[in-house]
């Protein structure tokens, strides 16, 4: 491990900015809101501010992205298909552990199945990641309940832990090591290096106060969902409150449903765009001939929460898709959010099985 | 940074967002976490506004009809032609239609163009009826002609009454506030003939018979009187007209309430008591195409005044505006009745004041609405200029085709454009600076995010250019300059500046010398409020033997403002199309009991017959309407629109209008 | 990983030429195509039951079954026009070009069912995805026991591929049963829903596999009858259709419970379908 004086963070971000498009948590220049954004000025990145409102997934999986251009001249029958050339390498600085885990979920899903998603891969392959240990949780957090924080375990090039006045720097890759060497960072003495584990422990202890109740119940909810023991009323209760806005999927660092649309651009040209979608939408699974297998809103709601708590991620990787960031709580007009779903499951289940 | 602050431009809730901009184009949008209204939420429309802004269905060139077809011409040529041709008709024969999606600056100057350059008060706003009723009642009662409660008040209120509105679909984020209020323990009561989502989320759903809302409200007022629950202050010094209102209520026989409304009287009584017992209470209703009629709004106002819930902090009526700048457009005088700031058009002193401000002689004759002009006989209208319009006017194809001149100014290609002789391309709201006033009087600045195309101007610049073509030179260099003039013209906006707006999340008017930071709680403003005049006869439409169903029309889950602009998006279009795909021929929603009785089945055709017409549509069998009532969404298919047009006068009253019909299996 | 999956055209479509367009029934046309680049054509190997993603330039992309036999047929698609993209495809003429990605999906069992009796039950255009398997099995007639086609539609003019069925009938021992919903002038075959033919056909049960494809109502009724006849759930095979955008297991539009139709399917046994945990 190495030491980076806090005042020198600028050197780190500056060095990255030379080689990468630099992204990190910032306070918005006009509104002061905490968001994860592209920065021109590396000193804007602030690792002390709370977790950004938008998930960093937008960098690798943009909200709407042109992925292909077509041209077809019907007169001459000349057809051409061009995939969009993709952008510069990117550095994501200050990812908190939940968000890094979200990214790893996306990696596993987009890259680790039968097919590789080539568009995602383009974004992902030339990337530098600096994670940031949460030395204290924020009010909406429950990463400890989903096994995704408060400190990163894998997937970073560098990992920073604030030990007061300086950061402990953990390297996670050859790229990371090279940068540490380049910056000439001092090695951390053993006593200091041990502080990372201490900081994590202290942070975990702080969760106890805020993440009791519904949140601690997550692993049991996962069990129940996976074994299929959820009464229909739970989904109905949740479905009634859903406004079908899609936000919970959009803000979720591990949600990756998308839509694809082609649009004509005139003179035989057209383009293919892919964009965030949500399985909570009625039109999502609608098919020709008035056949929608997932018509009732509670069926669709349960799809997403099923997915977060049991399916695609956990079926293959033994972890829930939810990484405990708490974002879907804050954006939900229906006051749902994953922790409330867990509460609802718990309420119904304990009603059914009084001795649990 | 690629995220820029801005305001959602769809409904009047006015949620804040962060718009993602890159390579000179809009790339996406994210909810603004600290915005006082949205507070980090957007609805399905708001989350996809970038899809509208990046549509290829734009008007990008000025066009003029030559030999029957619209042909591209240089912008300047089209501007000159439009100005000259509009000026060729007498003022009474010219009319202007403003867009409720346009900015305050755009609409202020369009009003000025109509009145000071073309000398006519014939200027109106698409979908204005509902807001007109609200404004009318509130002006009459001596209060502000706008929402007296703020969104923040919903977070404190102990009692919330949702009147008819399908709020989780129309103004979803306002609806979210209602739902959240109920979750924190506030009493949420929905009074609505349909079982909307908010009705399902309400502790109490009073599912009244259509057309009887006014009677329910009157009955609640009468309960307050009978049970001594009336607010002292409201009947004494602070108000005017209590006796008149009390006399009107004498006309209501409480014994008949249950029969007229279909509600259990005890439930009505209990609701009235809960209203009276609450610290602060808010009533929410729709103001727009499907708003309430004047009498119902007047009754709601009187009830709240009686209960001491008007003119008090955190309480009052909140008319939810359906389109982002309906409220601001009224403030700017985009209506035949008022000059900016609700100054009566035709009032001599006002004409004088505005005449000076605008250096023009104003027409003393109040104007007429475009609908009035298009349907008057003999026809008097010759020329019409329409800004960014959806589809409503397309319903008068013959009248439009008979006009000598139609000028369309808009950003998006649209079915209305085919009636135009001259088309001028306008910037989208993301291509210009401008302010928008939301449902709670919050004036918000939305900055330009991207450059418009070469021939595309913001609407206010187009109006300025048209004035210049008539030899009237306006001095504005920026839209901020226009706001300076608005501040001089409209007292409630007098302290509004772009600098001040830039500092935070908007200013709630009145915003003047005394309240430079605006006024979130106008209920606290000094002044006496009046009870609105209400009729003392209480009748509700009743089914007859021949026509046993009460049919209402309104919005539906998958509908928002004729869906014309939704059709230019991907995901909202897909979602909003759901009903259309299931019921392509249109639908009438009836209860399972009624369906069984007449032998109708879901998605199978039925005939709806009124005294004056009939239509064949599919039945939608649902649990959301009560037996004896039927519901049609008024956007699906020509069938329904045609049928409803025949009942135009009946339906003018919005949500509370009823057509007695018979429904037969075919 | 399926053997063909790795060779599929995954992201960027290959350009193909429409060689011939044939009107089938109302709203359904068959499009014969070949790849612009012969090398692509040579490496484009399919398994019966797979599908491709077809791009119509300027309109969009949609999932469509490959009804041709992997061995000897000319590549083609049979498409019903239902919406934006399929309508745009129907506007195309011979010589026009399209984009093709794939083939995707698992496909029908072939080697696994050798030696068995095979029943095909189809409703309406449900015959399209079954066609490739039928042709393939008929080509290897001697490897199979009884081969039955039970086929019905609402009206006679909605029966697909009738001219081809006449050809297939020439294969020895190919049994066919047809029905339409209501009597019609000129129709002298059976009348009634498809499932009512299962009993009269006295379908084999032992060493038998049934392929069923059609609208949900028909599907459920047929499954019921096959079950009654004694067929086990794992001996009933179907191909599912879902809203589908990417074809490669990423967009998640086609998720049913734990499965993704594009990569795990579209072919499932009824036993699998029953455990999907959602309506199909
Ligand atoms: C594995 C698979 C194989 C298929 N094989 C064939 C085939 O051989 N022949 C054929 O004609 N069709 C087939 N389909 C269906 C075909 O994909 C849809 O009809 C087509 O996508 C509709 O696109 P559109 O743009 O014309 O319709 P749209 O304008 O997009 O929509 C019209 C209607 O079709 C629905 N729809 C959209 N996509 C699909 C979809 N993928 N499946 C079902 N409904 C959809 C929409 O929700 C809407 O109700 C298959 C689908 C799948 C998934
Ligand atoms: S489900 Fe909610 S809390 Fe969990 S990772 Fe997604 S957004 Fe965060
Ligand atoms: S954020 Fe809430 S309201 Fe929106 S789709 Fe998700 S659960 Fe439904
Ligand atoms: S509620 Fe209205 S203002 Fe808010 S996001 Fe939705 S459409 Fe936009």
Chain B residues in contact with A332 by the CB 8 A cut-off are 41
Least confident of B330-334, B502-506, B577-581, C231-235: B577-581
Chain B residues in contact with A335 by the CB 8 A cut-off are 176, 179-180, 183
For C185, list phi and psi in degrees, rounded to 5: -60, 140
Domain boundaries, given as residue ranges, for chain C: 2-104, 111-239
Distance, in angstroms, between C82 CA and closest chain A CA?
A: 7
CATH of region C2-104: 2.40.30.10
Cβ–Cβ under 8 Å, residues B521 and B599: no
Residues B412 and B556 in one domain: no
* Interchain contact, C57 vs A113, CB within 8 Å: no
* Structure confidence at residue A227 (pLDDT): 72
**What is the helix (H) or strand (E) element at residue B486, kind and residue range?**
helix B479-489
Residues B337 and B433 in one domain: yes
pLDDT digits (tens, 9 = 90+) for C33-57: 999 999 999 899 999 999 999 999 9
Residues B569 and B611 in one domain: yes
Cβ–Cβ under 8 Å, residues B250 and B217: no
- With a cut of 70, say whether residue C277 has pLDDT above it: no
Mean pLDDT for A302-314 is 68
Residue of B nearest to A40 (CA): B1
Mean pLDDT for A73-84 is 94
Q: What is the DSSP letter of B116?
A: I
* Structure confidence at residue A235 (pLDDT): 82
- With a cut of 50, say whether residue C83 has pLDDT above it: yes
Which of B2, B8, B44, B585 has the most A C-beta neighbours within 10 Å, making it the best mutation to test the interface with A? B44
Coil, strand or helix at B587:
strand
Q: From the CB of A253, is ligand 2 less than 6 Å away?
A: yes
pLDDT band at B288 (very low <50, low <70, confident <90, very high): low
- C224 in contact with chain A, both atoms CB, cutoff 8 A: no
Q: Model-level pTM?
A: 0.93
Q: List chains touching C (3+ CB pairs under 8 A).
A: A
B373 or B529, greater pLDDT: B373
Mean pLDDT for B87-106 is 96
Sheet with B507-508, strands from edge to edge, namely B434-437, B442-446, B507-508
Q: List own/partner pairs for A286-289 with CB under 8 A and 24 or more apart.
A: A286/B574, A286/B578, A286/B581, A286/C243, A287/C241, A287/C242, A287/C243, A288/C80, A288/C82, A288/C83, A289/C82, A289/C215
- C58 in contact with chain A, both atoms CB, cutoff 8 A: yes
* Mean pLDDT, all residues of chain B: 90
* Structure confidence at residue B47 (pLDDT): 97
Cβ–Cβ under 8 Å, residues B624 and B589: yes
pLDDT digits (tens, 9 = 90+) for C95-133: 999 999 989 999 999 888 888 999 999 999 999 999 999
pLDDT band at A95 (very low <50, low <70, confident <90, very high): very high
- A268 in contact with chain C, both atoms CB, cutoff 8 A: yes
* Structure confidence at residue B58 (pLDDT): 93
- With a cut of 70, say whether residue A318 has pLDDT above it: no
Residues B69 and B50 in one domain: no
Q: List chains touching A (3+ CB pairs under 8 A).
A: B, C
Q: For residue A278, give the ligand 3 atom closest to its CA.
A: 5
Cα A260 from chain centroid (whole Å): 21
Look at residues B438, B464, B479 and tell me which one is the last residue of a structural domain: B479
pLDDT band at A353 (very low <50, low <70, confident <90, very high): very low
For every residue of C209-244, DSSP letters joined together read EEEEES-HHHHHHHHHHHHHHT--GGGEEEE-----
* Structure confidence at residue A351 (pLDDT): 65
* Interchain contact, A261 vs C60, CB within 8 Å: yes
Mean pLDDT for B284-296 is 81
Count up the domains in chain B and report the number: 4
- With a cut of 80, say whether residue B143 has pLDDT above it: no
Which of B2, B3, B167, B587 has the most A C-beta neighbours within 10 Å, making it the best mutation to test the interface with A? B3
Coil, strand or helix at A13:
helix
- B624 in contact with chain A, both atoms CB, cutoff 8 A: no
For C6, list phi and psi in degrees, rounded to 5: -70, -20
Domain assignment of residue B44, given as a range:
2-54
* Structure confidence at residue B567 (pLDDT): 83
Cβ atoms within 10 Å, residue B605: 15
- With a cut of 50, say whether residue C2 has pLDDT above it: no
* Structure confidence at residue B650 (pLDDT): 59
- Which one of B18, B40, B168 has the shortest CB-CB distance to A243? B168
Cβ atoms within 10 Å, residue B123: 28
Mean pLDDT for A56-80 is 95
* Structure confidence at residue B134 (pLDDT): 86
Cα torsion B282, B285, B288, B294: sign = negative
Paired tokens of A260: 């694809």
Which of A40, A88, A334, A344 has the most B C-beta neighbours within 10 Å, making it the best mutation to test the interface with B? A334
* Structure confidence at residue B114 (pLDDT): 97
Cα torsion B516, B517, B522, B526: sign = negative
- With a cut of 80, say whether residue A33 has pLDDT above it: yes
For tokens 């800004």, the residue is B387
Mean pLDDT for B525-541 is 86
A112 or C208, greater pLDDT: C208
- With a cut of 60, say whether residue A298 has pLDDT above it: no
ipTM over 0.90: yes
Residue B493 within a domain:
no
Residue B633 within a domain:
yes
pLDDT band at C185 (very low <50, low <70, confident <90, very high): very high
Distance, in angstroms, between A66 CA and closest chain B CA?
A: 10
Chain C residues in contact with A70 by the CB 8 A cut-off are 55, 57-58, 99
Chain B residues in contact with A32 by the CB 8 A cut-off are 34
- Which one of B3, B28, B47 has the shortest CB-CB distance to A245? B47
Cβ atoms within 10 Å, residue A185: 21
Q: From the CB of C243, is ligand 1 less than 6 Å away?
A: yes
* Mean pLDDT, all residues of chain C: 90
| Cα(B505) to centroid(ligand 3), Å | 25
- With a cut of 70, say whether residue A214 has pLDDT above it: no
Distance, in angstroms, between C78 CA and closest chain A CA?
A: 16
What is the CATH number for B205? 3.40.228.10
* Structure confidence at residue B652 (pLDDT): 64
pLDDT digits (tens, 9 = 90+) for B602-613: 889 999 998 888
Residue B20 within a domain:
yes
- Which one of A68, A284, A315 has the shortest CB-CB distance to C258? A315
Fold adopted by C111-239? Rossmann fold (3.40.50)
* Structure confidence at residue B130 (pLDDT): 74
Residues B311 and B339 in one domain: no
- With a cut of 70, say whether residue B505 has pLDDT above it: yes
Residues B385 and B471 in one domain: yes
- B245 in contact with chain A, both atoms CB, cutoff 8 A: no
| Cα(C86) to centroid(ligand 1), Å | 8
- A298 in contact with chain C, both atoms CB, cutoff 8 A: no
Residues B158 and B105 in one domain: no
- With a cut of 70, say whether residue B502 has pLDDT above it: yes
Residue of B nearest to A330 (CA): B40
Compute, in degrees rounded to 10, the torsion defined by CA atoms B161, B163, B165, B168.
10
- C1 in contact with chain A, both atoms CB, cutoff 8 A: yes
Q: From the CB of A328, is ligand 2 less than 6 Å away?
A: yes
* Mean pLDDT, all residues of chain A: 87
Q: Among the ranges B484-488, C2-6, C220-224, which has the highest mean pLDDT value? A: B484-488
Q: For residue A326, give the ligand 2 atom closest to its CA.
A: 3
Residues B241 and B338 in one domain: no
Residue B455 within a domain:
yes
pLDDT digits (tens, 9 = 90+) for B230-281: 887 777 777 888 999 999 999 999 999 999 999 999 999 999 999 999 999 9
Ligand nearest to the CA of A280: 3
Cβ–Cβ under 8 Å, residues B216 and B266: no
Residues B77 and B146 in one domain: no
Candidate from B6, B33, B35, B38 with most ligand 4 atoms within 8 A of CB, to mutate: B38
- C206 in contact with chain A, both atoms CB, cutoff 8 A: no
Distance, in angstroms, between A158 CA and closest chain C CA?
A: 29
Coil, strand or helix at C57:
coil
Query: Helix A337-352 to helix A232-241 angle, to the nearest 10 degrees?
Result: 150
Mean pLDDT for B31-45 is 96
Which of B31, B167, B444 has the most A C-beta neighbours within 10 Å, making it the best mutation to test the interface with A? B31
pLDDT band at C6 (very low <50, low <70, confident <90, very high): very low
pLDDT band at A73 (very low <50, low <70, confident <90, very high): very high
Q: From the CB of A229, is ligand 3 less than 6 Å away?
A: no
Mean pLDDT for B464-478 is 97
* Interchain contact, C216 vs A286, CB within 8 Å: no
Paired tokens of B148: 């007296």
Residues 6+ apart with CB under 8 A from A87: A21, A123
Chain B residues in contact with A250 by the CB 8 A cut-off are 30, 47
Mean pLDDT for B151-164 is 94
Domain boundaries, given as residue ranges, for chain A: 2-349
Q: How far apart are CA A101 and CA C136, in angstroms?
A: 47
Residues B239 and B334 in one domain: no
- With a cut of 70, say whether residue A352 has pLDDT above it: no
| Cα(B87) to centroid(ligand 1), Å | 54
- With a cut of 50, say whether residue B203 has pLDDT above it: yes
pLDDT band at A162 (very low <50, low <70, confident <90, very high): very high
Ligand nearest to the CA of A305: 2
Those of residues 99-138 in B touching chain A at CB distance below 8 A are none
Mean pLDDT for B355-363 is 92
pLDDT band at B637 (very low <50, low <70, confident <90, very high): low
Which residue has its alpha carbon closest to ligand 4 atom 2?
B11
Which residue has its alpha carbon closest to ligand 3 atom 2?
A332
Residues B81 and B135 in one domain: no
* Structure confidence at residue B346 (pLDDT): 79
| Cα(A284) to centroid(ligand 1), Å | 13
Candidate from B567, B575, B581 with most ligand 1 atoms within 8 A of CB, to mutate: B581
pLDDT digits (tens, 9 = 90+) for B327-341: 999 999 999 989 999
- C252 in contact with chain A, both atoms CB, cutoff 8 A: yes
| Cα(B29) to centroid(ligand 2), Å | 19
Q: From the CB of A302, is ligand 3 less than 6 Å away?
A: no
- Which one of A40, A53, A63 has the shortest CB-CB distance to B40? A53
Residues B136 and B98 in one domain: no
Q: From the CB of A338, is ligand 2 less than 6 Å away?
A: yes
| Cα(A324) to centroid(ligand 2), Å | 5
Residues 6+ apart with CB under 8 A from B554: B166, B194, B290, B631, B633, B634, B654, B655
């Amino acid at each position: 491990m190495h030491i980076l004086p806090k005042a020198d963070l600028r050197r780190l971000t500056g060095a990255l900015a030379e080689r990468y498009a630099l992204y990190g948590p910032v306070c918005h220049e006009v509104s002061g809101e905490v968001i994860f954004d592209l920065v021109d000025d590396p000193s804007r990145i602030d690792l002390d501010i709370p977790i950004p409102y938008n998930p960093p997934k937008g960098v690798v999986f943009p909200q709407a992205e042109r992925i292909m251009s077509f041209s077809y001249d019907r007169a001459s029958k000349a057809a051409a298909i061009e995939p969009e050339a993709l952008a510069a390498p990117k550095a994501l600085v200050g990812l908190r552990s939940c968000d890094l885990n979200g990214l790893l979920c996306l990696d596993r899903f987009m890259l680790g199945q039968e097919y590789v998603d080539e568009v995602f891969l383009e974004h992902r392959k030339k990337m530098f990641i600096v994670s940031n240990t949460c030395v204290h949780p924020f009010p909406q957090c429950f990463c400890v309940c989903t096994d995704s924080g408060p400190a990163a375990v894998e997937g970073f090039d560098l990992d920073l832990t604030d030990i007061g006045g300086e950061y402990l720097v953990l390297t996670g890759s050859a790229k990371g090591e090279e940068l540490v060497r380049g910056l000439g960072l001092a090695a951390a003495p053993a006593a200091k290096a041990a502080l990372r584990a201490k900081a994590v422990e202290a942070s975990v202890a702080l969760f106890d106060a805020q993440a009791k109740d519904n949140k601690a119940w997550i692993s049991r909810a996962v069990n129940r969902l996976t074994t299929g023991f959820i009464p229909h009323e739970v989904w109905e209760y949740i479905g009634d409150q859903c406004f079908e806005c899609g936000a919970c999927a959009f803000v979720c660092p591990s949600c990756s449903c998308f839509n694809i649309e082609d649009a004509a651009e005139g003179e035989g040209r057209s383009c293919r765009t892919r964009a965030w979608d949500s399985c909570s939408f009625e039109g999502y699974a609608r098919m020709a001939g008035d056949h929608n297998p997932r018509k009732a809103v509670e069926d669709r709601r349960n799809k997403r929460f099923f997915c977060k708590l049991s399916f695609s991620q956990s079926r293959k990787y033994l972890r829930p898709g939810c990484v405990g960031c708490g974002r879907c709580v804050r954006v939900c007009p229906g006051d749902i959010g994953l922790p409330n779903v867990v509460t609802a499951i718990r309420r119904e289940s304990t009603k059914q099985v009084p001795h649990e | 940074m690629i995220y820029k602050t801005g305001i959602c431009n769809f409904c009047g809730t006015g949620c804040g967002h962060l718009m993602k901009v890159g390579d000179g184009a809009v790339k996406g949008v994210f909810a603004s976490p600290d915005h006082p209204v949205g507070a980090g939420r957007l609805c399905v429309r708001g989350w996809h506004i970038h899809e509208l802004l990046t549509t290829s269905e734009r008007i990008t060139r000025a066009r003029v009809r030559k030999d029957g077809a619209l042909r591209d011409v240089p912008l300047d040529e089209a501007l000159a032609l439009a100005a000259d041709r509009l000026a060729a008709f007498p003022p009474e024969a010219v009319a202007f239609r403003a867009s409720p999606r346009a900015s305050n600056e755009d609409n202020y100057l369009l009003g000025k163009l109509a009145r000071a350059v073309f000398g006519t008060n014939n200027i109106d706003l698409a979908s204005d009826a509902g807001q007109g009723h609200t404004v009318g009642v509130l002006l009459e009662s001596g209060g502000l002609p706008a929402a007296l409660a703020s969104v923040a008040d919903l977070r404190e209120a102990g009692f919330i009454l949702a009147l008819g509105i399908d709020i989780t679909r129309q103004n979803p984020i306002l609806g979210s506030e209602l739902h959240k209020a109920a979750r924190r323990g506030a009493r949420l009561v929905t009074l609505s003939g349909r079982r909307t989502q908010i009705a399902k989320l309400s502790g109490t759903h009073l599912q009244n018979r259509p057309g009887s809302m006014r009677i329910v409200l009157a009955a609640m007022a009468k309960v307050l009187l009978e049970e001594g629950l009336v607010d002292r202050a409201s009947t004494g010094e602070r108000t005017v007209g209590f006796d008149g209102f009390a006399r009107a209520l004498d006309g209501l026989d409480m014994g008949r309430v249950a029969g007229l409304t279909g509600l259990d009287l005890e439930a009505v009584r209990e609701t009235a008591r809960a209203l009276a017992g609450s610290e602060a209470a808010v009533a929410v209703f729709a103001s727009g195409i499907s708003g309430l009629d004047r009498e119902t709004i007047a009754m709601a106002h009187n009830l709240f005044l009686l209960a001491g819930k008007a003119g008090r902090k955190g309480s009052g009526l909140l008319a939810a505006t359906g389109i982002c700048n309906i409220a601001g457009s009224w403030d700017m005088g985009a209506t035949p009745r008022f000059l900016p700031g609700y100054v009566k058009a035709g009032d001599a002193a006002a004409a004088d004041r505005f005449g000076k401000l605008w250096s023009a002689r104003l027409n003393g004759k109040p104007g007429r609405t475009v609908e009035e002009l298009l349907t008057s006989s003999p026809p008097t209208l010759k020329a019409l200029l329409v800004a960014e319009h959806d589809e409503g006017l397309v319903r008068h194809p013959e009248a439009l085709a008979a006009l000598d001149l139609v000028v369309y100014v808009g950003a998006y290609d649209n079915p209305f454009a085919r009636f135009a002789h001259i088309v001028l391309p306008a910037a989208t709201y993301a291509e210009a600076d401008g302010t928008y006033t939301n449902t709670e009087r919050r004036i918000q600045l939305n900055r330009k995010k991207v450059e418009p195309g070469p021939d595309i101007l913001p609407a206010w610049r187009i109006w300025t250019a048209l004035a210049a073509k008539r030899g009237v030179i306006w001095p504005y260099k920026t839209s901020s300059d226009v706001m300076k003039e608005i501040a001089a013209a409209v007292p409630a906006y007098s302290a509004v500046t772009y600098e001040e707006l830039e500092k935070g999340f908007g200013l709630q008017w009145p915003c003047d010398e005394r309240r430079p930071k605006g006024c979130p709680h106008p209920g606290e403003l000094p002044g006496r409020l009046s009870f609105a005049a209400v009729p003392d006869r209480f009748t509700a439409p009743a089914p007859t033997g021949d026509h046993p169903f009460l049919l209402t029309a309104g919005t539906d889950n998958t509908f928002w403002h004729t869906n014309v602009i939704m059709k230019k998006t991907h995901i909202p279009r897909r979602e909003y199309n759901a009903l259309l795909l299931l019921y392509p021929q249109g639908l009438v929603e009836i209860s399972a009991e009624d369906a069984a009785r007449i032998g109708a089945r879901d998605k199978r055709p039925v005939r709806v017959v009124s005294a004056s017409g009939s239509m064949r549509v599919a039945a939608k069998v649902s649990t959301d309407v009560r037996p004896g009532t039927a519901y049609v969404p008024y956007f699906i298919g020509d069938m329904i629109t045609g049928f409803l047009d025949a009942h135009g006068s009946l339906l003018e009253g919005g949500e509370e209008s009823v057509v007695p019909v018979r429904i037969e299996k075919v | 990983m399926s053997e063909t999956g790795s060779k599929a055209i995954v992201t960027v479509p290959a350009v193909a030429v429409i060689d011939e367009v044939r009107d089938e029934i109302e709203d359904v046309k068959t499009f014969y195509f070949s790849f612009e680049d012969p090398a692509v054509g040579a490496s484009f190997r399919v398994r019966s039951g797979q599908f491709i993603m077809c791009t119509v330039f300027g309109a969009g992309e949609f999932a469509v079954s490959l009804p041709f036999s992997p061995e000897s047929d000319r590549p083609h698609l049979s498409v019903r026009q239902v919406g934006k993209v399929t309508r745009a495809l129907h506007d195309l003429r011979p010589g026009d070009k399209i984009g093709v990605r794939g083939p995707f999906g698992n496909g029908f069992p072939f080697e696994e069912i050798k030696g068995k009796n095979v029943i095909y039950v189809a409703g309406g255009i449900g015959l399209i995805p079954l066609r490739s398997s039928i042709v393939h099995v008929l080509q290897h007639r001697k490897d199979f026991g009884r081969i039955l086609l039970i086929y019905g539609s609402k009206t006679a003019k909605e029966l697909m591929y009738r001219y081809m069925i006449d050809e297939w009938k020439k294969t020895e021992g190919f049994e066919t049963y047809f029905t339409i919903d209501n009597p019609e002038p000129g129709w002298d075959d059976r009348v009634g829903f498809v499932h009512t033919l299962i009993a009269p056909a006295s379908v084999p049960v032992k060493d038998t596999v049934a392929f069923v494809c059609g609208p949900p109502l028909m599907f459920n009724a047929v499954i019921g009858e096959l079950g009654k006849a004694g067929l086990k759930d794992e001996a009933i095979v179907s191909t599912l259709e879902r809203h589908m955008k990417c074809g490669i297991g990423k967009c998640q539009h086609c998720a049913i419970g734990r499965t993704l139709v594009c990569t795990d399917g579209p072919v499932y046994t009824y036993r699998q379908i029953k455990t999907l945990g959602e309506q199909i």
